[in-house]
Copies of this chain bind each other. A is one copy, B any other.
Amino acid sequence: MLFHFKNQFPQLNPFWDKYLEFQQRQEVAAKTILLAEGTVSQNYIFIEKGCVRAFFNNNGDDKTVQFFFENEGLTSFESFINDTPGQFTIETIEPSVVYLLPKQYVIRLMEELSSEPYFARLIMQVSAGRQTHYINEFVSFIRDKPEQRYQKLLTERPHIIQRVPQHYIASYLGVSTVHLSRIKSKLAKGKLHF
């Protein structure tokens, strides 16, 4: 939500810079939980190195909804704005280096920004982008069969498949690990036709 938007509206850059010093650098192991489902988000998280996933738990069975990599930042926007518990857990997949900016500073920063004319534009742009992202994920989930979603991942975001363990990918695609194996096996035998 924040520092990865630097330079998008150069007029706002001084605001980001001012808060850089409040970030806390952390080196964390794989499978470290950065934010637990059902708790209120306390930090803006920026990933310098490594990768993380967002998921929610359903009867002990994880459903992964998104992956994040280097130079991406994340927060539970609504959890910040409304002080409500978020519905996702954020967990590192690889050993990672992250920067955390405590909530209080994020709030203060947004207060400062809210009287800046370009801020409204930034927010609109960012919101439109996030909306588009969620809608696209949603539509793809409804429209495409798991094979198609896997192939899309393979061609459009191969880095995910390279770096992320397969059972997380299965969970992201909405199928069991067994079925993802079947899909890969069919693909390898060239038996898939669209």
Closest residue of B by beta carbon distance from A120: B114
Q: Which of B65, B78, B123, B128 contacts A138 (CB 8 A)?
A: B65
The answer to whether the Cβ of A119 comes within 8 Å of any Cβ in the partner chain is: yes
- Can you name 8 A-B residue pairings with CB atoms under 8 Å? A58-B143, A78-B128, A114-B120, A114-B121, A123-B127, A127-B127, A127-B130, A134-B135
A65-B138, A65-B142, A82-B128 provided; 12 other pairs, C-beta below 8 A?
Answer: A56-B143, A58-B143, A63-B142, A77-B127, A78-B131, A81-B125, A116-B120, A120-B123, A123-B127, A130-B131, A134-B135, A137-B138
Interface size on A, residues (CB 8 A): 36
CA gap between A190 and B63 in the complex, in Å: 30
Measured between beta carbons, the chain B residues less than 8 angstroms from A110 are: 124
CA gap between A37 and B24 in the complex, in Å: 45
Q: Which of B114, B123, B142 contacts A117 (CB 8 A)?
A: B114
Given known pairs A131-B78, A142-B174, the reply for A120 and B125 (CB within 8 Å) is no
Tell me the smallest distance from the CB of A77 to a CB of chain B, in Å: 5
Tell me the smallest distance from the CB of A53 to a CB of chain B, in Å: 14
Closest residue of B by beta carbon distance from A82: B128
Closest residue of B by beta carbon distance from A125: B81
Measured between beta carbons, the chain B residues less than 8 angstroms from A115 are: 117, 120
Measured between beta carbons, the chain B residues less than 8 angstroms from A87 are: 135, 139
| B134 lies within 8 A of A131 (CB) | yes
Closest residue of B by beta carbon distance from A135: B134
Measured between beta carbons, the chain B residues less than 8 angstroms from A141 are: 138, 141-142
